[in-house]
Amino acid sequence: MDDNPRFAAAARGLLTGSGISVVGVASTGAEALQRAAELRPDVALVDIDLGGQSGFDVVRRLHREAGLAPSQLILISSYDEQDFVELIEASPAVGFLSKTALSAAAIRNLLTRGDEGRRNAGETPGR
């Protein structure tokens, strides 16, 4: 989910070209909730800064209202991760990727690290 149509289109092209199926794109929190409920994505990328909305709020709502597991939620931003480290850690998202580092490999790596962290903590992946 990103409120910048140019970035959303570029990210979709990049990920699709790398073998990731992009099933939907949303530009608002309400649209993201609707699409997540309809499409049940394996992973949702949510921009931290959505103009008038907080990506952190959207991630919490996707987790709570659309039933997306933490392993399905990744926060993204053009801002540095260190600017939001406490908020990222407190969110239900599996982690964070910089928009400049966004790639299929980076997504897979983050998801693998997230699953390993949950297994090490005694949690079931995807819960």
pLDDT in tens, 60-86: 999 998 888 888 899 999 988 888 999
Determine contact, residues 44/73, Cβ cutoff 8 Å: yes
pLDDT tens for each residue of 2-49 = 667 888 888 888 899 998 899 988 888 888 999 999 999 999 999 998
- CA 115 – CA 88 distance, rounded (Å): 17
pLDDT of 96 above 90: yes
pTM: 0.84
Q: Class of the 5-120 domain?
A: alpha beta
Q: Where are the domains of the chain?
A: 5-120
Q: Among residues of the chain, what percentage have pLDDT more than 90?
A: 43
